[in-house]
Amino acid sequence: MLKWHRRLAWLGFAALLLWGGSGLLHSWLTLFGVQPAVFAPPQRVLSLSAAQPFRDILTKAGIQKAVAVKVVVGEADNLLQVTEEQGKPRRYFDLKTGVELPNHDKAYAAFLARHYMNLPYENIASVQWIDQFSSDYHPVNRLLPVYRVTFDRADGLNTLVYTETASLAGVSNHTKDWVQTGFQWFHTWGWMPKSAETPRVILMAVLVGALVLMSLTGLSMLILIRRKVRAAGAKGWHRIAGYVLVLPVFMFSFSGFYHLIQHGWPSDTSYLSMGKPMDISRLQFPVNSEWVALTENLTVSGVSLVANESGNTFYRLALPVPKGQVPIGDSAIRNARFDGVQPTGPALYVDAADGKVWPEGDRELAYQLAAYHTGLPREAIQNATLVTRFGPDYDFRNKRLPVWKFEYAQPLNASVFIDTATGVMADKALNSAKPETWSFSMLHKWNFMFPLGREIQNIAMAVFVILSIVLMAGFGLRSKFR
């Protein structure tokens, strides 16, 4: 053990310095990186009593089928948003006149960017359409397509906006871009070309693997070698530090190695899939003329159309989050974004054909949407739960809550996550990837410290990394020289 520990010293020192140091950049990004000023998407009490019938608006525009139709909060008034196909810009219509607002998806993205950053009058330099993952918008993200809205400011403030759910996919500025680039260069070796993916993974595996072996051999020596008197100088301090730091070093290195083997060759595939196309001719119920009676004693914050497995279409009336549950302030918003706070309330379903309230509601619709997206019968589902907070299987990058989680055995062997608001399959988690997901969440990101708060979690990780670099790597290498 001692021989191998000494032989691997240089590789272990390089790995700990490289990935420990660059890991500190991630803690900095989480703690001090630019954050949105507002957590929730724009909300306004909705009334459709003065609106044109949805079917009339869409038929006049030549739209016979759509995968998503919803009312969104525009800058001046509420608008009808229509997604005809996944991956294409969305169309917008004035609810009162039925007139289409041409090329309004960019304008809506700019409005959302100003809303989330609380900069209602800030000039915008550019609005860029992004429909593919790249080094600037990494495959680790979930949402496509998005808009990059860049403000006309010296600090380079920019946001990534996903218009279908009015979500903020990311926010950055020059400082965060530089730190993020440094993290990608040193932590994931993003500077290497795609043609060199295999050499990149092999080289990283050798270095990280050496650190795993060093931590294991060091742990074995702590257990097997007993000293009556503490060694002098760096060697003594190195051994004392080992009792406290060897386990964190092993957790970081092992989970990093596991993650590298599982995801070393990143996939550009997104599991996000839009819902079943809706037949506009089925919209028989005049929801606009019956709005007052339908919503008596209700406050409605959102309206969307969604189709079930049989093609029946429903108006989904979203109710707002109760007062006092919306986070306010930088720290609260940061924690809510990463930990997951439900940004919308419950929902009421009304049949678009006859106006009757659909009593089965959210759960039954989720089952039917799961069958549509997977092609598997209901009997294949092992378990179904409502997810209201982010976690290892379904994290904050999805930007959708609440969702329904359905667990499947063979032949799918995966969990799928269904958003009933627009019938979307938000994500899919393969069972084969779940052990690594748990390892990365708990051993690498230390999410077991979640109850203590994200700030304490990141500070604790940073302290352990710094101590490991100084006392383990630094003193250990000095001892080797002596």
Nearest to 220, CA basis, from 465, 466, 425, 1: 1
Please provide the DSSP assignment of 278-310 as one string: EEGGG--S-TTTTHHHHTTT----EEEEEE-TT
Could you tell me the two tokens for 339? 């930990």
Break the chain into its structural domains and give their ranges: 2-32+192-269+446-481, 362-433
Q: What is the pLDDT of residue 335?
A: 47
Low-confidence ranges of the chain (pLDDT < 70): 230-234, 266-269, 320-346, 476-477, 479-482
* pTM across the whole model: 0.84
Are 55 and 280 in contact by the 8 Å Cβ rule? The answer is: yes
CA distance 260 to 350: 48
Question: What stretches of 118-232 show up as alpha helix (H) in DSSP?
Answer: 174-187, 197-224
Q: At what angle do helices 454-467 and 21-32 cross, to 10 degrees?
A: 160
CA distance 264 to 424: 28
Q: What is the pLDDT of residue 129?
A: 96
Q: Which CB contacts under 8 angstroms, 24+ apart, belong to 185-194?
A: 185/22, 186/18, 186/19, 186/21, 186/22, 186/25, 187/19, 187/22, 187/23, 187/25, 187/26, 190/135
